[in-house]
Every structure is written in structure tokens, then in C-alpha cells.
């Protein structure tokens, strides 16, 4: 920003009003201030924004943030302006005059942060203009968009390697909540990060207890699970189809639970009413397809149950992550059976996706199955998938009820001896 050489702690406290850095924020900021590239993997809500906002305010020049969604940019800019940070967005939603003002402010070094859509950097004219501005850093938010491995692939992100070619001296941070190994590789290669330091943290949700059971009689299993909980608990039961969502809600109502369905086939008003009750009343169980979730941040969801397999560990992590936002003990409970696997495989094979995409989806499903069938600590397996780590947690089903490894030799000897 315009005022150079402020210390990160000062900026954090005086500009943002926060007391201390969280997790790896301080280390990341320190690394960027030394001029290094970084790949920052943190779950949603982990605090990625400060990792580039603070160093942009500490270093001379403007911090350039590349972000895929215009709506997100507007929110961020507004929040920053409220902190007194000089931030602006430059995207297709602006009138010509507004855009000109932003460009002028950049040229005169008046901005701390500017948010751009990636398309902007396809213009050689604009890149040349950037070359005349003092630059603090580049932040590439939602950096997984560079990868075809995810579902948010954006071709314009693949052109962002131009930044390393044109501005090799300006530090770059790539940030995302998606951290599996193939995406990580694509980000480093696609963005041509230079000897980036990898920061992975915050994926553990220690208050969530994970358990996965073989699907035998799913209704009885769910009923037993619910019977062990307080009727005041709010929860979500994910099902694979709209039809099953409705049937499950009806059945739960018959058992005396307050269950409400949610899927994209319901009227908007019904969906809103059900979601409202879930937020306001105690003890509501939402039965839902994956349509339920975007923007759900009810803090006291006590359990997330899966009657059917999600399609990947990312999806599982996201869906179960809606439990226990308040930090209190919560459960992620799932039953899975062979027929689920067959169903998911058929989805993949019957889709119109290109063969390369199908291969990716098969691998993701395999990783999920590995998680279901593991005899190791489930939390460890989940975190390792995201490149994060933890000690055996003592809280998941495999930790609490270790599976005896089957001794084949002894069994064989016994069988032979009688």
C-alpha cells in the first residue's frame, strides 16, 4: 500500500482490529514480505484473505488480487473500505468512467489493493499498464480454478503464468480451500510459482467425531443413531436422490422426529420455509440432497448423517463440515454399501464427461472408498488427503473400536487341525 514498511502486527491490530494472527498467517505473511512465492491451503473460513491483505498494506505498491467471482470481489472491497483500506475492484460490472477512476488511482499509487477478474490479465494493454504500477504482490484466490482436476476449472486461470514471466520479482500467493495432491501440482505448475513454500493448515475439525458403517439396514441404523442423541439436536441427513429425501423425511416424521425435506425440485417457498425452520427451531432434521449446503452456516448443527456415499472426499469433508461450527462436539455419521459404489460408478460412466474427466472422478471415488474401508484413524486418513496431518485422534470409530487385524495363518492352522 501507499504507506510502506508497516509491521504486520501493527496492520493487523490498527487496521483490522484483530489481536493476533491465526494458525500460519504470521509465517505466511513473513514469507511473502521476504519476497517468496507461496501456496496457501486452508479450509473456507480459515482466514486466507489476511494472508495477502496484510502484506499488501506492509509493502509499497498495490496488491493485485485475482478472484473469479464478481460478487465475492464486491463483498471484499466493501469490507476493506469499512476498515479504511483503499481497495477497489476492476471488472466487467463497472461503467467506463468508474473503471477509469480505478486505473488512475492505481497509476498514482493510491490503492492498497485492487481486485481483478482473471480475464483482465488476458489483455496485453492492461499487462503493460500493470508494468508501470508499483506492485506489492499478486494474490491468486481460488487458485484451484487453474486445475482441471476440480469442478471449478477456468481456462483464464491457465494464462496466469504470464505473471511469473512478466513480473518475476513480485511475490505471488496462490490460495485455495482445495488441497488434494493433483490440484496442488496443477497450481504450482499452471501458475509457474517459483520454489513456492507450501502452507497447509486448519483442515482438522477436532470437535467432529467421524464414523462410517457398512450399510446393512439403513433405516434401522439411522434410527439407532438418532435414538442415541438428544431430540433437541439439529442435524442434516444427506440422501442421493430427491425421492429418497422425501421418503426419508416422511419416515422420520412417522418416528416422531421433526424432519423436513430439501432438494432442488421443491418450490422455492417450501425450500426457504424449511431452511428457516431449521435455523430457528430446535431439533429439526433436514433430509437433503447436495443442493442443501451452499451458505449454510448454522453454528449448532450437531450431526451430519450420510445415507448414501458422496462422490469424493472433498464433498464428504464439505458436507460433514457443516456440523459443529460452534466448536461443540458433533458427529459425522455415514453408512455405505457396495450398491452405493456401483451407483456412483454408473453416474461416472454414464455421464457425458470426457474420458480424462471420468478418470479423475474414478480416482476421487477410490480415495473416498479408501477412507470408508480404512482401519487407521479416520481423521488421519481424511487430513492426509488434504496434505494436512494429525495424531491418531482417539475419537473416530476406528480409534475407539480398533478393527482386529485378521490373522490368516492361525485361522488356517486351526482349520487344518480339525
CB 198 within 8 A of CB 39: yes
Q: Which does 18 bind (CB under 5 to 8 A by kind): ligand ADP, Mg ion, Zn ion, none?
A: ligand ADP
How many residues would you count in the chain?
A: 418
Please report, as ranges, the residues that interact with Zn ion according to CB under 5 A.
377, 379, 393, 396, 399
Q: Shortest approach of ligand ADP to residue 47 CB, angstroms?
A: 3
CA angle, corner 28, sides to 25 and 32, nearest 5? 135
Q: Shortest approach of Mg ion to residue 177 CB, angstroms?
A: 8
Question: Alpha carbon of 112 to those of 11, 13, 153, 173: distances in Å?
Answer: 12, 17, 29, 16
Q: Which three cell numbers stand for residue 338?
A: 457396495
DSSP state of 146: G
Please report, as ranges, the residues that interact with ligand ADP according to CB under 6 A.
18, 21-22, 25, 42, 44-50
Number of C-beta neighbours around residue 225 at 10 A:
18
Which residues contact residue 18 at a Cβ distance below 8 angstroms, ignoring those fewer than 6 apart? 12, 50
Q: Shortest approach of ligand ADP to residue 237 CB, angstroms?
A: 26
Q: Which is nearer to Zn ion, 12 or 377 (CB)?
A: 377
Q: Which is nearer to Mg ion, 55 or 235 (CB)?
A: 55
Q: Shortest approach of ligand ADP to residue 16 CB, angstroms?
A: 7
Q: What is the 3-state secondary structure (H, E, C) of 51-69?
A: HHHHHHHHCCCEEEEECCC
Q: Which is nearer to Zn ion, 211 or 363 (CB)?
A: 211
Number of chain residues interacting with Mg ion (CB under 5 A): 1
Q: Which is nearer to Zn ion, 226 or 377 (CB)?
A: 377
Considering only residues 36 to 75 of the shown chain, the ones binding Mg ion according to CB under 5 A are 48
Q: Which is nearer to Zn ion, 364 or 379 (CB)?
A: 379
Q: Which is nearer to Zn ion, 190 or 321 (CB)?
A: 321
CA angle, corner 308, sides to 304 and 314, nearest 5? 65
Q: Shortest approach of Zn ion to residue 54 CB, angstroms?
A: 35
Q: Shortest approach of Mg ion to residue 25 CB, angstroms?
A: 13
DSSP state of 303: E
| Gyration radius of the chain's alpha carbons | 24
Which residues contact residue 319 at a Cβ distance below 8 angstroms, ignoring those fewer than 6 apart? 236, 238, 290, 293, 304, 306, 310
**3-class DSSP assignment, residue 189:** helix
Q: Which does 22 bind (CB under 5 to 8 A by kind): Zn ion, ligand ADP, Mg ion, none?
A: ligand ADP
Q: Which does 399 bind (CB under 5 to 8 A by kind): Zn ion, Mg ion, ligand ADP, none?
A: Zn ion
Q: Which residue is nearest to Mg ion (CB)?
A: 48
Residues in contact with Mg ion by the rule CB under 5 A = 48
Amino acid at each position: 500500500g501507499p504507506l510502506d514498511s508497516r509491521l504486520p502486527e501493527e496492520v493487523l491490530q490498527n487496521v483490522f482490529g484483530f489481536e493476533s494472527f491465526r494458525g500460519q498467517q504470521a509465517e505466511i505473511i513473513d514469507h511473502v514480505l521476504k519476497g517468496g512465492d507461496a501456496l496457501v491451503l486452508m479450509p473456507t473460513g480459515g482466514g486466507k484473505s489476511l494472508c495477502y491483505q496484510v502484506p499488501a498494506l506492509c509493502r509499497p505498491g498495490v496488491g493485485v488480487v485475482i478472484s473469479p467471482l464478481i460478487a465475492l470481489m464486491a463483498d471484499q472491497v466493501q469490507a476493506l473500505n469499512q476498515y479504511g483500506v483503499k481497495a477497489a475492484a476492476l471488472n466487467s460490472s463497472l461503467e467506463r468512467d468508474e473503471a477509469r477512476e480505478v486505473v488512475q488511482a492505481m497509476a498514482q499509487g493510491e490503492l492498497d489493493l485492487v481486485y481483478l477478474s482473471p480475464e483482465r490479465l488476458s489483455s496485453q494493454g492492461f499487462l503493460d499498464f500493470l508494468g508501470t504500477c508499483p506492485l506489492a504482490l499478486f494474490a491468486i484466490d481460488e487458485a484451484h480454478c487453474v486445475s482441471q482436476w476440480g469442478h471449478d476449472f477456468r481456462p483464464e486461470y491457465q494464462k496466469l503464468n504470464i505473471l511469473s514471466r512478466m513480473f518475476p520479482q513480485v511475490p505471488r500467493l496462490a490460495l485455495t480451500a482445495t488441497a488434494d495432491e493433483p490440484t496442488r501440482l496443477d497450481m504450482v505448475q499452471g501458475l509457474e510459482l517459483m520454489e513456492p513454500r507450501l502452507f497447509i493448515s486448519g483442515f482438522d475439525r477436532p470437535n467432529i467425531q467421524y464414523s462410517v458403517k457398512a450399510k446393512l439396514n439403513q433405516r434401522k441404523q439411522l434410527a439407532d443413531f438418532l435414538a442415541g442423541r438428544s431430540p433437541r439436536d439439529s442435524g442434516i441427513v444427506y440422501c442421493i436422490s430427491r425421492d429418497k429425501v422425501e421418503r426419508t423425511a416422511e419416515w422420520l416424521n412417522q418416528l416422531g422426529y421433526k424432519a423436513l425435506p430439501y432438494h432442488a425440485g421443491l418450490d422455492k417457498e417450501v425450500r426457504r420455509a424449511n431452511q428457516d425452520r431449521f435455523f430457528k427451531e430446535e431439533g429439526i432434521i433436514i433430509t437433503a440432497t447436495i443442493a442443501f449446503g451452499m451458505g449454510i452456516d448454522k453454528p449448532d448443527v450437531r450431526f451430519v448423517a450420510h445415507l448414501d456415499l458422496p462422490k469424493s472426499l472433498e464433498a464428504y469433508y464439505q458436507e460433514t463440515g457443516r456440523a459443529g461450527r460452534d466448536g461443540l462436539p458433533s458427529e459425522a455419521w455415514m453408512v455405505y454399501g457396495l450398491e452405493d459404489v456401483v451407483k456412483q460408478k454408473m453416474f461416472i460412466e454414464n455421464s457425458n464427461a470426457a474420458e480424462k474427466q471420468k478418470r479423475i472422478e474414478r480416482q476421487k471415488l477410490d480415495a473416498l472408498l479408501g477412507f470408508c474401508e480404512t482401519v487407521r484413524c479416520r481423521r488421519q486418513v481424511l487430513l492426509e488427503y488434504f496434505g494436512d496431518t494429525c495424531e491418531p485422534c482417539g475419537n473416530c470409530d476406528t480409534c475407539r473400536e480398533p478393527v482386529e487385524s485378521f490373522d490368516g495363518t492361525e485361522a488356517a492352522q486351526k482349520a487344518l487341525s480339525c
